[in-house]
Amino acid sequence: MLPAGPLMIEHRLIEQAIDLIGKEVQRIQATGRTDLVLLDSLIDFMRTYADRCHHGKEEDILFRGLEDKPLTAEHRQMMDRLVDDHRRSRAKTVRLKELVTAAQRGDRMAVEEVIELLQSLATVYPEHIALEDQKFFPAAMKYLTAEEREDMLARYKEFDQKLIHEHYKAAVESMRTHMEAGQ
């Protein structure tokens, strides 16, 4: 399997989450109510899976592996754009979390911005994924040797194993803090 293969598989799950985001926007617009539990789950998915896991592998392994390669100007610009997309999506997700927290406290003004951010994420990701799947990944694989590709696949696996432990260690710590604050 090529290093782009696991990333493209991850794209399929991200697309499913993006579809849910689009449906939640429609539901909020129709009812005026936010499903805060769903939004918290979507934010966790976007932060942990889409950003930390998926973008983390792209940035820390694939893109870093391509940094010293003689990429064409077009491919270098594409990679820079993808990194910028990640940065902007990360910032939007952080802002979305702030707004959902405000909405949980009863701030009705936050709902409009929640809708805008959700719509933005639902628009940006399909374009971003299409660029990676159809243009960047196929081109990028040509710059890597067979050994480099195999090494990347091994590093993806190691990355995933560390991530799950980091995520749930933080989750337990958060639960502990929550419980201690409640006593």
Please check whether residue 183 lies inside any domain of the structure.
Answer: no
Please check whether residue 28 lies inside any domain of the structure.
Answer: yes
| Digit-coded pLDDT (tens) for 104-129 | 888 878 888 999 999 999 999 999 99
Please check whether residue 46 lies inside any domain of the structure.
Answer: yes
pLDDT range class, residue 183, cuts 50, 70, 90? low
| Digit-coded pLDDT (tens) for 4-48 | 899 999 999 999 999 999 999 999 999 988 888 899 999 999 999
One-letter amino acid identity for 72?
T
Lowest mean pLDDT among 66-70, 98-102, 107-111: 107-111
Q: Structural domain of residue 155, as residue ranges?
A: 4-177
The enclosing domain of 25 has a CATH number of 1.20.120.520
Please check whether residue 127 lies inside any domain of the structure.
Answer: yes
Please check whether residue 121 lies inside any domain of the structure.
Answer: yes
| Cβ atoms within 10 Å of 159's Cβ, excluding its own | 16
| Digit-coded pLDDT (tens) for 119-155 | 999 999 999 999 999 999 999 999 999 999 999 999 9
> How many domains does the structure of the chain reveal?
1
Please check whether residue 182 lies inside any domain of the structure.
Answer: no
Report the interhelical angle of 36-44 vs 4-31 (nearest 10°). Answer: 160
Angle at 148 between CA 146 and CA 153, to 5 degrees: 95
Please check whether residue 67 lies inside any domain of the structure.
Answer: yes
User: What's the pLDDT at 85?
Assistant: 96
